[in-house]
Amino acid sequence: MGIDGSGGIWENGGMGLFAVLPKTAEDRLAGVAGFYMEKNERDLWTGEYFYALGSDWHGRGLMSEAADLFGKKLREMKDLGVIYAGYWDLINEASGRLLMRTGLRPKGRKPVTEEYSPERCLRMFDYDLWRLQEADSPRQKDDILLQAARRAGAFVAEDVLDKDIAIRFLEDSYGSTLTKDALTMLEKAIAQPGMSYLEIRGPRESGTPVNRLR
């Protein structure tokens, strides 16, 4: 996965995306992890840390091992600018722990619409609705509902989505009125807008990272 077109990330000392392969089954792709890096005006590597792991591989330590390796490499980079990441706190604190293991540190909150365009936010909401409709079991449906309510609350807080419309669509996809936990999560997300924001900075960097994924 080291190909980045004409970007020259690898050749110039940066890092891109890596395939995550389990040692016990190296013919299977468990996920991807790495960075969307580019050189800024000060010739320092800046960008976003990203990872995705298939649900079958959760809890096996794969991403913890990758995080340790990434953290070591980041600390060794003499031309490190700022690498950042945001995650959906309230429902995914494991991501926060993983990011801190990589060396990133909490720096407050970031508006969702600074990370994603309003159009992309609505596509994420549509995807959550689809996942609700396709859930295999009541337990899975309740888990997905909680995640969907978390994101929907963030979108409502930033005027991307109307609250009443969000509840109606969630109930239609869930198949009944929302659970108490889902309603509580929705209200928490509205009251605490945005995502948790973390970053790691090199000693020469004081600027703002460029979001290439918006």
Boundaries of domain holding 100: 17-112+194-201
Count of alpha carbons within 13 Å of 51, Cβ hemisphere only? 24
C-alpha closest to that of 195 among 120, 86, 75: 86
C-alpha closest to that of 54 among 69, 32, 70: 32
In a domain, 5, yes or no: no
Q: Are residues 86 and 129 in the same domain?
A: no
- Identify the three-state secondary structure at position 120: helix
List helix spans (H) across the chain: 62-76, 93-102, 112-115, 118-134, 138-157, 163-174, 180-191
In a domain, 209, yes or no: no
The pLDDT of residue 213 is 43
Q: What is the pLDDT along the chain (214 residues), one digit of tens a residue?
A: 444 544 577 778 888 989 999 888 878 999 999 999 988 888 999 999 999 998 888 889 999 999 999 999 999 999 999 999 999 999 989 999 999 999 999 999 999 999 999 999 999 999 999 999 999 999 999 999 999 999 999 999 999 999 999 999 999 999 999 999 999 999 999 999 999 999 999 887 666 655 544 4
Q: Are residues 34 and 98 in the same domain?
A: yes
Domain count for the chain: 2
What backbone torsions phi and psi does residue 76 show, to the nearest 5 degrees? Answer: -85, -15
The pLDDT of residue 192 is 95
The pLDDT of residue 209 is 59
For 53, other C-beta atoms within 10 Å of its C-beta total 18
In a domain, 150, yes or no: yes
The pLDDT of residue 5 is 46
Query: What CA–CA distance (Å, rounded) separates 176 from 165?
Result: 15
CATH number at residue 24: 3.40.630.30
In a domain, 28, yes or no: yes
The reported pTM is 0.83
